[in-house]
Structure formats: structure tokens, C-alpha cells
Chains A and B, each alone.
Chain A
Amino acid sequence: MERWRLSEETRFPLIDTIDRVIHEPARLIIMSHLFVLEKADYLFLKQQTGLTWGNLSSHITKLENAGFVEIIKKFIDRKPHSLLQLTDKGRKAFEKYQRQMRHMFEGLDEK
């Protein structure tokens, strides 16, 4: 299992190991949805995330360029649909990101 680097003084992951592609709030919520769903189209993600079309498109482009998301063309009821799903790379990156964040906050008291 890939281990992230920790600073010597703290148990926090070094800032340069956090995946900045996932760490952005809009992309995080998109990745979270695609992590729990098998596939979804743009409209479904837009409705669930509350992002505008332009915002959604731009963030998905970044995720696709990073290799985390792939677009699948499928015919549904004889109409073409573009469906989005996480790649294996994207799924692993999201799981790693989850572990990093969980590790960062475990042991902290809730206030």
C-alpha cells in the first residue's frame, strides 16, 4: 500500500501529498458521487451537486485530464447518452484521499 509522507513534527500529511485535483470542493463532491454510484450522466450530477453547467463541465474536464473520470457513450432508449464513471486510477486516488483526510482528523475531539 502506498504510504504518504508525514512531517516529522506532526502527524499531518505533508501538504504536497494531498491530491489537489480532488481537494477542490466542487471536484470532491463530483468524485464522491461517482464513487458511490456506478455511472451517472451530466444532468444527474448537476442536480445532485447544484453546480451550473459551465462549472460542472470545467471540473469534469480537469478530472478527465487527470485520468480519474472517463466518459462512456451509451444508447439509452435509442438516444445517445454520455455517462461518467470513475476510472480505477480515480477510485484508488479517491480512496487514498479519504485515508489521508481521515488520518488527519482522527483523535480530534468534536467541539
Chain B
Amino acid sequence: MNEHTDLKALERKAFTSYHQDGLIDIIVGSALFSLALMIWFFPGFWYFIVGGLVALTSTYTAAKKSVTVPRMGYVEFSPERKQKIIYIFLAFVVILVFGNILGILAMLFPPLGILIFESQITILIMGVIGGFLFALIGYISDLRRFYIYGTIFLASAVFIFFTPILVILPLLVVSIIMIMYGAILLYQFTQLYPKESGGEVEVV
């Protein structure tokens, strides 16, 4: 018996193991990849993607039920942990709403659009904001790999600032890395936690 049982570490381990399935990486990576393509091919319409957040949440929930729950079981985390997840969700909503407002202003006032969206400084600022957002998610969720995603995103934005080639490069790079790493995690997860046969044990 470990008399110095660290209950916080225990909860953190339960939470991080429940998210070692790679699903959040694949789904968020796919969303960011779609966003990058939308910005490139349909630049006038990417602002109106708040509805995408609903689709993202539904897809993630369905994937969790079909992949994770049959292998790892079902768990409800503490209210404190749930609140942290809500903060992450709110951070996404704030960024999307802010982006939408900027987009609407840019459409109504084209010179403002040029100033905001065709400036190299804007790309750097978005790199910093994106990097910070990823790091915040990593800090709140205890999923450390999000710090690395944030670093990659910021590094790509800095690269674009000095070598303007493809404005959507930061999004493309981080989304592809997230999808690939998520797929690796998913494979490892299914090997480590095969589906349990025989159903749950009932206490008689």
C-alpha cells in the first residue's frame, strides 16, 4: 500500500488514459484540415463554421461510444474535470465567434478585410493565438501532446512570416500531424485494450 497515494495523479492518469485513443487528435485534426481547405478554396465562407462545432462534438461523442467505451468502460469524471472541459469548449467558441465577427466586418468593409487578412503580421498574430490555444488545451486537459501541436503551429506561422508561400501552411501542417499521430494512438489503443467479451460483471 502506498501511504502517499497521490489522488490528483490518479485522476490525471484515469483521464489521460481515457484519451489515449487518439480520437480527439483525429477529429480536431480533420476539422482543422477542412478549415484550411475552406480558407483556401472558399475564402468568403470559412467564417460561418460555428455549426461545425456542433458536428465536431457529435462526431467525437459517437466515436467515443463506439471505440473507447467498449474497450475502456464508461466513466463520468468529477465536476471539476467537467468544468475544465467546458472551459476548453468555451475557448473554441470565443475564437470562432471572434473569427466570424472579423469575417463579417471584412465582407462589409473590404479595405478592412485586406488590412486584416492579407497582412503578414496577421499570420504571426494568428500563429501566437493558435499556439496559445493549443497550449491552454494541453494545460487544462493534461494532454501534453497539445503543447507540441501548439509549438508546431507557431513555428509554421513564423516560417510563413519570413517565407510567405502558403498562408494556410500552419493549419495544414498541424492538422496532418494531428491526424497521423491520432491514427497511431488509435492503433496502439486498440491493441492495448481489446474489446472485452462477456459484457459487464453483475454483483449478485
Contacts and interface: CB of A to CB of B under 8 A. Distances in A.
Interface of A: 23, 25, 28, 32-33, 35-48, 53, 56-57, 60-61, 64, 71, 76-77, 81-83, 101-102, 104-105
Nearest to A76: B74
A35 B181 CA distance: 33
Nearest to B70: A43
Given A32-B10, A35-B7, A64-B203, A47 B74 contact: no
Interface of B: 1, 3-5, 7-8, 10-11, 13-14, 17, 65, 69, 72-79, 193, 196, 200-203
Contact of B200 (A39, A41, A64, A102): A41
A101 B200 contact: no
B73 A82 contact: no
Nearest to A58: B203
A109 B202 CA distance: 45
A61 B203 CA distance: 7
A39 B17 CA distance: 16
Contacts, number: 82
B76 A57 contact: no
Contacts of A71: 203
Contacts of B13: 48
Contacts of A40: 73-76
Contact of A41 (B14, B65, B75, B78): B75
A47 B77 CA distance: 16
Given A38-B79, A82-B203, 15 more contacts: A32-B7, A35-B7, A36-B7, A36-B11, A37-B11, A37-B76, A39-B76, A40-B74, A43-B72, A47-B72, A48-B17, A77-B65, A83-B76, A104-B3, A105-B4
A28 B152 CA distance: 42
A64 B203 CA distance: 9
A43 B4 contact: no
Contacts of B201: 42, 53, 56-57
Contacts of B4: 105
B98 to A, nearest CB: 33
B73 A25 contact: no
